[in-house]
Chains A and B, each alone.
Chain A
């Protein structure tokens, strides 16, 4: 009984660790723009586009390394 409980706890622990690792891999951020860059983007694409660009979430490189992207 005790052994079964131990196994269950270990499994639970593993699950949490995996979950944490996945969360760590998928760190999402948003682009930080300097006022100069923002003005350039607004000039090229319009203000509405700049708002959308600032809202796009970016996955840090670790996310890319964790995915199965083939390199040529």
Chain B
């Protein structure tokens, strides 16, 4: 790779690009080179593929495909350290793919690491979402759920085992989170999330992820409260075969009429393991992008898909 660089330029194994000993930026560590014969014919970076035709400068081609993140010496050093850390390397590499420079990467990491997030509902979607949030670098989690683990949960809620049956979901989830991530501080609320408690959670946290399916009507009610408080709320759940994710933020409108719904006495809401994993991924991804201010979901976002076809249903 260094053969393609002008004199004085160097790319360290730590992904740092330097010129005459001065650090210029970070080369995205997922950058790919397309080799034809012994020569590099193209580079693939976050923005796409750039062909190295005659006269195309290698460094300029790296910049064009978004593979170079420039920054000051200190910023470069911090991003490089994050890329080498076992805890944050993959999240940082992803953030490098959607950031324009080292400063943006560090801002996004700081937003993630200092955010307080509440997960309301620690079942099929919420338990996995809490793991994904902690794994991505969230260090302060509040877990809200008054359910205990039942045998019928084991087929799709992958955090629990048979030994955990009868225990509170929030307790077991906290134990499993601490087993994997000892830098996460946890607050547990083994209780139902009524409106006044949701209001408290939305005002005391940077974001709330709501995956609980009871009490009925909790999602529209929470969305109205979040819009009124200008708080970040992400919800994920089902309506029959439709998986639905909503994002409410400071741009959202709190208008909307309140209705009453009633379920059957023998209600069994759908919960499908593979779709739970998709919902956990979609909700946590939306939440993290909003926290990092690296995505704009607009004023009111409801998106969803039919679980059987994965076609857009929102």
Contact = CB atoms under 8 A, between A and B. Distances in A.
Contacts of A57: 50
B37 interface: no
A29 B63 CA distance: 14
A64 B43 CA distance: 10
B51 A59 contact: yes
Given A36-B100, A44-B25, A49 B60 contact: yes
Interface in A34-72: 34, 36-37, 40-41, 44-45, 49, 52-53, 56-61, 63-64, 67, 69
A49 B64 CA distance: 11
Interface in A1-37: 29-31, 33-34, 36-37
B158 interface: no
Contacts of B56: 56
Contacts of B61: 56
Most-contacted residue by chain A among B44, B51, B60, B63 (CB, 10 A): B63
A58 B44 CA distance: 9
B183 interface: no
Contacts of A33: 100
B5 interface: no
Interface of A: 29-31, 33-34, 36-37, 40-41, 44-45, 49, 52-53, 56-61, 63-64, 67, 69
